[in-house]
Structure 1
């Protein structure tokens, strides 16, 4: 956590010093009360002790307030710094990194994990400082009064600390098991609710509900066993550190030392007062330990995210031509099983290449290599003769435009959503891009037209906004991963017309499932199990009677 707290380290250190001084001054009123008792018995002026007690209370309040204020400012600095670091890191990791994690890992880090650090930075750090300094100052003063009585006062304190240590043994492993069990309950409950329609349709309610009941029973058995192992020790620790136990130790010690003349009766007063003040900080320390462990786990998860390797870029500028070549490309997600093997392919400017094949054949994977969602495990991909790994970040995304199947519009106006690749675009350019994507009429029908913020668009409409972005970007290489997946037939025809105009002079790669949309493609590449098994035009592939011809016959049958 030390590296993560660098932004607020100065304020945090100052706050801990203030809290330590506040803990010292917090002991002074108790010592002043003891001195007041001595003065009253000797008929001395009691006011000096009273003044010291009041002044110490005022100083402690001021120091505690300053410490709390500083830790919250430090926490604010740290949260801002960590969130900026996360945003900077996730903005530079390969886009394929999100395939395995989705947005959940980032949301957890930015939200839950950063928030989990707040308790330790803003609160527990002060509690721990107070819990350490206060007993030490108290014991130092008590040993100064009488070392024998101080040792007696420490007996319940030492016993409580040891019992707490035993109760907390294995806490980290227990919390991991607790989290696993709770996750299983949540997963089974969500699975049951999401699938309730199917479950009820096929009369499997009892069977589907059984997984949730089993998960709940397993959690109950684990939790009850864990509590049984720790509850007795925790209760014994609480009893040892309770005011009753501390007062009993003081009274028993006084009963043994005062009659023998080793301790005066008035000297018993500091132990009766400060002995009770020894146990509360220790109990606070035990409670803060749980928050500290949770915070350390959160910091560890954030650190893992921040250590994610960034996608390295070169310094080459945008290539002069849009000719794309894939040379002996191999790619594997896990390092063991190849998703693509021996891919040799050339895409020329002014042509449209369509990727087809059964589900899982590697179409989307191959398309994702051009904009560097992933890098090839072997071989290379060039644009205009320049390896894509040698391009600068700006040059890469000026060279390759792409449209996803799953589109997310940002919380900004439609105008700004379209203008993302070219923020300084003129209004006429934005409208022209929207018309090319067959979405201009729909946008004008919105309450504020192009100024409508985060409009409720259908999947097909949002996809056409994404296509408008690609039109505006005007990159020489365009990758369309089933770009008309959510469009109705009329809209699809309009989008295809717009894409035809867009493709003029560009190198276009399309991932297609509906074969009718790519019959006019300049090149159709058939993939199967990560390999190219056929390539040619629609007519050429039909005449060969191979894999594509079989796919076309099956598609025609399904359409009929």
Structure 2
């Protein structure tokens, strides 16, 4: 058995280990309930046999079987309720634990993982995979154990009545099992392909929703829908391939697993045996009552077995997510004594082949503004992402206050930074709470002062409920520039000693851009400020400008010095000013 097959087999058992006792209880109660449920049919068959053997009166045995059937029906209901209660309790308990584990594990993963993997994988784990495990715990387990119990009890009774006829009845179901096995032989392969396509559809759907304005503006034929179309096409092709492979075997399994097939075979064989006097009419009635009902127990078990397969694959996906290595925490944590930032021959590669940034060295002093500029794809955002450890450097080191960031506890590291990136991140809460994320213990007056400093206070005042207005993840009615200013207020409130601004003013109009630049100038006092900018006039007054190109540091200096060198920075400046160099 391959490693992957072993993982599929064991992942579900490992994840369900905390509720194993509850599951065993649920399975036992389900088996007893199902066994009790078949007894009334056996009682009916026995009553029919007794009445056919004694047509002129009701013997005491008949009433005994009536009592047995009635008691079994009541017992089945009682056991079923208890089994369902235990199963759903176990389901709620373990799924709660797994959700907590997943959320906590997501909290310790490198933030760069979320950028690479997007939200599709997380959404799949938190919804689809857990839902498939829910089906196993709350439904499939009881259905499987119940089906086994029914088949065992019914088979025992039918063999007791007539072994030959029992063999014929079970043979029909055996043929059904062979065809079902053929139909399911490659289910895992097809399901993995469907799950992969479904994950891509989820990710593409989120991208589509985020980019709906672009889609509306430029039409649905734009490139933004290419990944969504490809994912849907892959899903449809995977499903069609599966259907094409199993259509005949699946149809045959349904045919031989139907009541009609069992009834036809049992009736035909029984009449032949009756004609040859090897089977009584009373015994044939027993088979028509009990054997014909077996498919009703087996078909739910087939559905349940498919649910178990899906549950195993869901468990494997969840285990893979939980096994992702967390951001390494230092074994001997060191607190920095200062907040100057040093990039020491920093190299980083996303794929281990091509370096996104290479051999970059620079010092960003406290109380000074360092700007990072360069063409698109030069590595500006990548370099800034290495500072808060969204990723760890491939080579070299980044130090804060002389301490390698890998030696600083992650909570301390992130608390030392106010981060404002191009992608605005808001939460589904009030405006005040969105700002207060930067400092959870801040009072209302401090929140208001931060909003004023970010020049967003007047915008908030126009909202229906002011600072109590609820926002969604998209910012509600706020414009892109207003949402960006809200995150700047968050950074101002945090009062972190290091401030990283990635195109923080890109979404602002010229008037608001100037106002926010003034606020950022106040924010920068006595702080280490790193600004990534595309519009060069916004960083012309920076104390130091680092110019990147193809992941390498090609120039550094102040604005006037770089213009005199007539290099890449000067050409970029001339292009933005509309001057032909």
Q: Quick check: 1:132 aligned with 2:148? A: yes
CA separation of 1:117 and 1:445: change in aligned 2, threshold 3 A: same
* Superposition deviation, residue 301 in structure 1: 2.2
Of 493, 497, 512, the match for 1:472: 493
CA separation of 1:222 and 1:401: change in aligned 2, threshold 3 A: closer
Q: Which residue of 2 is the match for residue 520 of structure 1?
A: 541
* Superposition deviation, residue 538 in structure 1: 0.8
CA separation of 1:151 and 1:474: change in aligned 2, threshold 3 A: same
Q: Supply the distance in 2 between the matched residues of 1:222 and 1:430 (Cα, whole angstroms).
A: 52
* Superposition deviation, residue 59 in structure 1: 0.5
* Superposition deviation, residue 326 in structure 1: 1.1
* Superposition deviation, residue 89 in structure 1: 1.2
Asked if 1 retains the 8 angstrom alpha-carbon contact of 2:374 and 2:549, the reply is yes
Deviation track 1:421-473 (CA, whole Å, cap 9, x = no partner) reads 32111222222221221112222232222222215321111111111111121
Relative to structure 2, which stretch is displaced further, 43-52 or 263-272?
A: 263-272
* Superposition deviation, residue 221 in structure 1: 8.1
Asked if 2 retains the 8 angstrom alpha-carbon contact of 1:527 and 1:534, the reply is yes
Q: Quick check: 1:330 aligned with 2:330? A: no
CA separation of 1:247 and 1:398: change in aligned 2, threshold 3 A: closer
Q: How does 1:406-485 map to 2 (within 5 A)?
A: 406-454=423-471, 456-485=477-506
Q: Supply the distance in 1 between the matched residues of 2:454 and 2:27 (Cα, whole angstroms).
A: 60
Q: Secondary structure at the match of 1:401?
A: strand
Q: Secondary structure at the match of 2:118?
A: helix
Of 67, 70, 84, the match for 2:100: 84
Q: Secondary structure at the match of 2:15?
A: coil
* Superposition deviation, residue 30 in structure 1: 1.9
Q: Which residue of 1 is the match for residue 553 of structure 2?
A: 532
CA separation of 1:197 and 1:347: change in aligned 2, threshold 3 A: closer
Q: Quick check: 1:388 aligned with 2:399? A: no
Asked if 2 retains the 8 angstrom alpha-carbon contact of 1:371 and 1:401, the reply is no
Asked if 2 retains the 8 angstrom alpha-carbon contact of 1:330 and 1:377, the reply is yes
Q: Which residue of 1 is the match for residue 71 of structure 2?
A: 55
CA separation of 1:238 and 1:553: change in aligned 2, threshold 3 A: closer
CA separation of 1:262 and 1:17: change in aligned 2, threshold 3 A: same
Q: Supply the distance in 2 between the matched residues of 1:213 and 1:530 (Cα, whole angstroms).
A: 33
Q: Which residue of 1 is the match for residue 361 of structure 2?
A: 344
* Superposition deviation, residue 217 in structure 1: 9.6
Of 485, 505, 509, the match for 2:526: 505
Q: Secondary structure at the match of 2:119?
A: helix
CA separation of 1:236 and 1:446: change in aligned 2, threshold 3 A: closer
CA separation of 1:519 and 1:224: change in aligned 2, threshold 3 A: closer
Q: Secondary structure at the match of 1:349?
A: coil
Unaligned runs of 5+ in 2: 1-11
Unaligned runs of 5+ in 1: none
Deviation track 1:281-322 (CA, whole Å, cap 9, x = no partner) reads 222222333333333333322222222211122253542211
Q: Supply the distance in 1 between the matched residues of 2:426 and 2:230 (Cα, whole angstroms).
A: 41
CA separation of 1:212 and 1:518: change in aligned 2, threshold 3 A: closer
* Superposition deviation, residue 92 in structure 1: 1.2
* Root mean square deviation, CA, Å: 3.3
Q: Supply the distance in 2 between the matched residues of 1:81 and 1:462 (Cα, whole angstroms).
A: 35
Q: Supply the distance in 2 between the matched residues of 1:9 and 1:210 (Cα, whole angstroms).
A: 45
CA separation of 1:226 and 1:429: change in aligned 2, threshold 3 A: closer
Asked if 2 retains the 8 angstrom alpha-carbon contact of 1:6 and 1:78, the reply is no
Q: Supply the distance in 2 between the matched residues of 1:262 and 1:221 (Cα, whole angstroms).
A: 54
Q: Supply the distance in 2 between the matched residues of 1:178 and 1:449 (Cα, whole angstroms).
A: 46
CA separation of 1:313 and 1:215: change in aligned 2, threshold 3 A: closer
* Superposition deviation, residue 18 in structure 1: 0.8
Asked if 1 retains the 8 angstrom alpha-carbon contact of 2:132 and 2:310, the reply is yes
Q: Supply the distance in 2 between the matched residues of 1:391 and 1:184 (Cα, whole angstroms).
A: 36
Q: Secondary structure at the match of 1:375?
A: coil
Q: Quick check: 1:68 aligned with 2:80? A: no
Q: Secondary structure at the match of 1:467?
A: helix
Deviation track 1:325-368 (CA, whole Å, cap 9, x = no partner) reads 11111100011100111111111111100001111001111111
Q: How does 1:170-181 map to 2 (within 5 A)?
A: 170-176=186-192
Aligned residues: 556
CA separation of 1:197 and 1:498: change in aligned 2, threshold 3 A: closer
CA separation of 1:181 and 1:302: change in aligned 2, threshold 3 A: closer
Of 362, 366, 370, the match for 1:353: 370
Deviation track 1:33-92 (CA, whole Å, cap 9, x = no partner) reads 232234433442121110100000011111112222322222222222222111111111
